[in-house]
Structure formats: structure tokens, C-alpha cells
Amino acid sequence: MPGSGSLSHFGIAKESSWATFVVPTDFLKFNSESLTLEVEKLISAQLHARRDEPNRYPGLGTIAGDSSHELHPEGSSYLLHSFNSSVVSTLVEAGVYSHVFKPTNSPFSVDCFLQPYSLEIHKDFSDEAFRFSGAVINALTMEFSIGTKIAMITPSWIAKDVILGTQVTPSLETTRPFLWKDAVIKFDDVQFNYLEAFSFAGDQAIVGVPLLNNTDRIAAIESEGYRTGALTMTFRPQDMTYWTKFKNYTPVKVEVTLTGDTIGVSSNYLLKLTFPRVIITAFAPVVEGPGRITVEATGDIEYDSSSGYMWEMELVNTKTAL
């Protein structure tokens, strides 16, 4: 019978060994997903005494795609973990924990650079679900605005393999996602109240690598280049401060804090993004008519030697560890 997206689910579980599938016990709410197996098409170039095209042979099978989620304070832990790989968890108060994520320079294993996860995606047209193993997040975006009032997080995945398995009954997070009204923005440690839209885009520059190892799947996920990140922000300009920083290539520290509902005795769900060194690369205060003027500014995130990282992401929730 036809499947319904409304009855689909997205399960996730941390792997201790790359591509060894772990049955999920946690499930993420999601808006959409596009994880797909693509099989390379090999066609012989030999002449074979016919005008018909030669038969095809299966080549390398690769798995990639995106998933889109509202930014929930519990389930987003797994996404930030896979994307950054490095995490330090500490107790805030009874039942409340802080998880600080930073980009890693140390590979998870010899065959996989980032922390891998197993994914179970059920699409409701069968009792079986797609089970992806060895999945990592190569790129990640987070965004919210006065138009997109529910904060969104969108990871781009690479995985080693996929099989079919009997679906697990999901249990979903009940906390509300972070909203636009939860946000406090600071530029150079001073609160900035004129932002209308914010987005972060990070790319780990990793790729799936095939080898001559008697398999038609990738044999490793490796770093191929430099880690990069960028911010895009729309705001009401108040003066020439940030145009001057743009003109002079002066670094700006950007800090974004989203504070959610109360947990524990005196804590709140919290997501804090810190970018200690951002170079504004575009600043366009154009006049497009008689209406108010806004500026869309973009900035490249650079490594900050005094902090020792490009970005830091802190998530406070009730998970004990990742």
C-alpha cells in the first residue's frame, strides 16, 4: 500500500566501530530526508558485432543525502556530535548536563575521520526500514529568522552501507524546539538587537574513498581539504561600525545563544554558538526603493589562535553523555 511521510521515522544510534550497525533507541523528529543509494553504471567499451549498446555492470555504490530537522535541544546532540566529533560533557546540576562540541583534528579511526552513527529510516510502505551504517555528517547548516521562527538544523550525510531490517517502534522527543524569540546575539561581547536572520554553514571537507578491497562500497571516510564555515546575517544598520570592519577586514566575535524551557531546578535548555573570529566578506546596504534599508552581511569563520578553535557549540540538556 502507498506509504505516508507522516508515519515515517528517523532513528539514530552512535557506533563504537565504523559501519557496525547499532539498532537505534533514540529517534529524531524530521521534516524531510533524501538519503539515497546510487549505483555507478559501468558500460563496456568493447565492440561486439551489434549496434545495440553493451550490457551494464554495477559499479561503486555510494550513499549520501540530507535530512532536515527542527532544532530540538535533546536530539540535536547527536547531530552536533557527528559533525564535530569532539565533545566534553559535564554535570551542571542533578539531571542537567552541558555538552561542549568543537571541531576535531583527531580521526575517530583509521578508516573514518568523524564520529559515525547508524540511522534507521522507515518510509511506511513496508514493515522493513532502511538501515544505514557508518553515517557521518560532512556539512551542517543551522538557521532561524523573523520569517523562519522555528530554528532549523540540516545535516548532509555520507554513509558506508544500507540494508533492510524490521522497523523499530519509535519513541520521540517531546521538548519544544528552539524558537527565534529565544535568541540573544552578541557582536564582540556586546548584545546586538537588530538582527533579522541568522544562518551558519559548516563543511568538514570529508569524502568517501573506494579502494581495491573486494567490495563495491567505500572503504573509508577521509579528510580531503580544509574545514570551512560561514555566517549569513540580515540586520538593520544603525551606523557605519560593521561596514568599517568589513572595509578594514577587522575580525568580529559572534556569539549566538538560544535559551529554551526550564529544566532541573535552576537551568534551561540552551544552545550557545561561539565564533571567535569572523571576517565580514560582504556587506551590502543597498537601497531598493522607498522602504526601510536592511543589510545582508556574510562572513567567513576563521581559526582563532587564542581560543584554539573555529567554533564552539554548547548544548545543555538532560543527556548524561554522548
Model confidence at 6, in pLDDT bands (50, 70, 90)? Answer: confident
Arithmetic mean of pLDDT, 52-75: 96
- Domain membership flag for residue 50: no
Return d(Cα 23, Cα 118) in angstroms, integer.
Answer: 7
- Domain membership flag for residue 105: yes
Tell the residue number behind the cell numbers 531490517, with chain if given: 165
pLDDT value of position 141: 98
Give DSSP secondary structure letters for 123-153. -SSSSEEEEEEEEEEEEEEEEEESSS-B-EE
Model confidence at 248, in pLDDT bands (50, 70, 90)? Answer: very high
pLDDT value of position 266: 96
Arithmetic mean of pLDDT, 95-124: 96
Considering the chain, what is the average pLDDT of its residues? Answer: 95
Q: Taking a C-beta distance cutoff of 8 angstroms, is the pair 233, 183 a contact? A: no
102: Cα within 13 Å, side-chain hemisphere: 16
- Domain membership flag for residue 82: yes
Tell the residue number behind the cell numbers 564555515, with chain if given: 229
* Residue range 256-302, pLDDT digits in tens: 999 999 999 999 999 999 999 999 999 988 888 898 889 999 999 99
> Domain range for residue 92?
5-45+57-317
CA-nearest of 160, 174, 194, 155 to 293 is 194
Return d(Cα 125, Cα 2) in angstroms, integer.
Answer: 6
Give DSSP secondary structure letters for 35-97. -EEEEEEEE-----SSSSPPPEEEEEEEEEEEEEEE--TTTHHHHHHHHHEEEEEEEEETTEE
Domain count, the chain: 1
- Domain membership flag for residue 51: no
The three cell numbers of residue 74 are: 535533546
Arithmetic mean of pLDDT, 98-106: 96
Burial of 131 (0-12, 13-18, 19+ CB in 10 A): buried
Residue type, position 226, single letter: Y
- Domain membership flag for residue 222: yes
Out of 96-110, 125-139, 188-202, 284-298, least confident range: 284-298
Arithmetic mean of pLDDT, 246-264: 97
Arithmetic mean of pLDDT, 24-40: 97
Arithmetic mean of pLDDT, 77-86: 97
Return d(Cα 275, Cα 233) in angstroms, integer.
Answer: 14
CA-nearest of 43, 60, 63, 61 to 52 is 43
Arithmetic mean of pLDDT, 11-28: 97
Enumerate the β-bridge partners of residue 270. Answer: 259, 316
Residue type, position 237, single letter: P
Arithmetic mean of pLDDT, 49-53: 91
- Domain membership flag for residue 161: yes
Return d(Cα 222, Cα 225) in angstroms, integer.
Answer: 9
Percent of the chain whose predicted confidence (pLDDT) is above 70: 99
Return d(Cα 152, Cα 201) in angstroms, integer.
Answer: 12
Residue type, position 61, single letter: G
Return d(Cα 54, Cα 62) in angstroms, integer.
Answer: 23
Model confidence at 2, in pLDDT bands (50, 70, 90)? Answer: low
- Domain membership flag for residue 120: yes
Burial of 27 (0-12, 13-18, 19+ CB in 10 A): buried
For the full predicted model, state whether its pTM sits above 0.85.
yes
Query: Given the DSSP bridges, would you call strands 9-14 and 26-28 parallel, antiparallel or unpaired?
Result: antiparallel
